[in-house]
Amino acid sequence: MTARIGVITFPGSLDDRDAQRAIRLAGGEPVALWHGSHDLEGVDALVLPGGFSYGDYLRAGAIAALAPIMAEVKDAAAKGMPILGICNGFQMLVEAHLLPGGLIRNAHQQFIRRDQRLRVENNDTAWTSDFATGQEIIIPLKNADGGYIASESELDRLEGEGLVAFRYLGVNPNGSLRDIAGITNEHGNVVGLMPHPEHAVEPGFGPDTPAATRSGVDGLPFFTAAIAAVVGAAA
């Protein structure tokens, strides 16, 4: 079977087409979905893409988290469907209470864009199983509201249960507590992160690596992992 992975477009989504392209390059079939619908069109997995849905009004991701299709997204999450929230999609997942914590304005108040080094802290999720735990990767980061926060007790719980999926290495680009770049839910099917794996999937268009300019493809394993997860589940 070919894995069908839905990418939901919201008003103000920017990286939906890039996510579709990443899915295609990883060997899956991207399915464009619309925020105003109640139909997931039978997809096997979902990506909530980056951008500035509703202009980040109220709070980043807050209004998108109330979109009609989010009812189906919540049902699918509860049933174990792999769901990845990238940047604005991560903000939607925390606003929809599918992941804990919150994301606030970067501590330095600036929009930031850089090729970001990360450490994979948990490879036991639908989106990280093609990495090794402890593996270092580089993918682009670009956000204004990327500061991950939660209460001390919640942060301790996340660390204790291994729910921190990615941590910033070298530079903490936005003031995220405990350098958290991404987290997973307890079941490992819902993962959110601020950096953008979909922008590091094709040589010539990714971040710089020591080997060559723009050659980084560390984002591709996110999508191959999810495809393997849904194909494996169907077999």
Binding of another protein by 74 (CB under 8 A): no
Tokens 């509703």 sit on residue: 54
Contact between 112 and 153 (Cβ < 8 Å): no
For residue 63, which phi and psi values (nearest 5 degrees)? -80, -35
Q: Which is nearer to another protein, 25 or 112 (CB)?
A: 112
Rounded to a whole number of angstroms, the minimum distance from the CB of residue 109 to another protein is 5
108 catalytic? Reply is no
Q: Is 198 a catalytic residue?
A: yes
Active site residue 196: yes
Contact 28, 1 (CB under 8 A): no
Q: With contact defined as beta carbons under 8 Å apart, do 146 and 88 qualify?
A: no
DSSP state of 123: -
The answer to the question of residue 175 lying near another protein (CB under 8 A) is yes
Q: Using the rule CB under 8 A, is 24 a contact of another protein? A: no
Site string for another protein, 128-167 (x = CB under 8 A): -------------------x-xxx----------------
| Tokens coding 97 | 């209470």
Question: Restricting to residues 176-235, which ones interact with another protein according to CB under 8 A?
Answer: none
| Nearest CB to another protein, comparing residues 3 and 94 | 94
Measuring CA to CA, which residue among 62, 70, 53 is closest to residue 13?
53
Residues 76-115 vs another protein: string with x where CB under 8 A? ------------------xx----xxx-xxxxxx------
Contact present, 217 and 203 (Cβ < 8 Å):
yes
Helix ranges (H only) for 27-151 are 70-78, 88-95
Write down the catalytic residue from 35, 72, 87, 121: 87
Residue 152 or 235 with smaller CB distance to another protein: 152
Which of 9, 40, 46 lies closest to 222, judged by CA?
A: 46
Residues tagged active-site: 87, 196, 198
**Interface positions with another protein (CB under 8 A):** 58-59, 62, 66, 94-95, 100-102, 104-109, 147, 149-151, 175
